[in-house]
C-alpha cells in the first residue's frame, strides 16, 4: 500500500509524539499510593535510585539485583553503598510528600511527580508533574512548601494505605 507525502508526515508526527510521551512518562504513575509508584512495576521512582539524586546530582536507574522493600514499596539502588545509605537514613532520601508534586499538594491534590523532574531543597527531594510546576516551586520554595505542609496531612489521609 502506498502512502502519500501527507501520510508520511502524519506518521512521522505520530511516532514523534509517541516517543516524546515515552521520554516524559516512562510508565503511568499511581496517584493512590503513599509513595508514587509505577503502575506496571510497583517500583518507587520507577526504579530510579533515590540516593543518586543526592550523590550524582541526577536521576540514575537502580539495579533489579539491588532492591529493598521499605515503607510499603520497593526501592532500587545503583550500588550497595547507596542501598546502605538509604536504609540508614530513609527520611533523607525518600522524596518528600511521597513523590507527589508539592504545588499540587498545596492545592489539596495528589498529582504524581515525575522522577526526571526533581529538585533538592533543604536536603529534601521533591518531584514535579511538569516543568511549569518545577519552575514555580524554584521561584519561591519557602512559600510553596508552607502551603504544601499545611495540606499534606489531608492529602496523605486520602491516599490508599
Rg (CA), the chain: 18
- Give the pLDDT of the chain (161 residues) as one tens digit per residue: 444 444 434 333 333 333 333 344 443 444 447 888 888 888 999 999 999 999 999 999 999 999 999 998 999 999 999 999 999 999 999 999 999 999 999 999 999 999 999 999 999 999 999 999 999 999 999 999 999 999 999 999 998 76
Q: Determine contact, residues 31/101, Cβ cutoff 8 Å.
A: no
Q: Determine contact, residues 75/85, Cβ cutoff 8 Å.
A: no
> Could you state, in order of their start, the residue ranges of all structural domains in the chain?
45-157
* String of DSSP letters for 105-132: HHTT--PBPEEEEEEEETTEEEEESSHH
Global pTM exceeds 0.85: no
Amino acid at each position: 500500500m502506498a502512502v502519500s507525502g501527507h501520510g508520511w508526515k502524519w506518521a512521522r508526527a505520530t511516532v514523534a509524539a509517541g516517543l516524546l510521551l515515552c521520554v516524559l512518562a516512562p510508565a503511568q504513575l499511581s496517584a493512590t499510593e503513599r509513595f508514587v509508584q509505577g503502575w506496571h512495576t510497583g517500583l518507587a521512582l520507577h526504579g530510579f535510585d533515590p540516593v543518586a539524586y543526592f550523590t550524582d546530582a541526577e536521576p540514575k536507574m537502580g539495579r533489579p539485583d539491588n532492591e529493598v522493600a521499605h515503607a510499603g514499596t520497593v526501592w532500587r539502588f545503583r550500588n550497595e553503598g547507596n542501598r546502605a545509605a538509604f536504609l540508614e537514613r530513609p527520611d533523607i532520601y525518600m522524596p518528600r510528600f511521597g513523590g507527589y508534586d508539592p504545588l499540587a499538594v498545596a492545592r489539596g491534590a495528589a498529582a504524581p511527580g515525575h522522577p526526571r523532574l526533581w529538585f533538592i531543597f533543604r536536603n529534601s527531594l521533591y518531584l514535579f508533574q511538569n516543568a511549569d510546576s518545577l519552575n514555580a516551586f524554584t521561584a519561591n520554595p519557602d512559600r510553596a512548601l508552607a502551603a504544601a505542609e499545611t495540606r499534606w496531612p489531608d492529602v496523605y489521609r486520602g491516599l490508599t494505605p
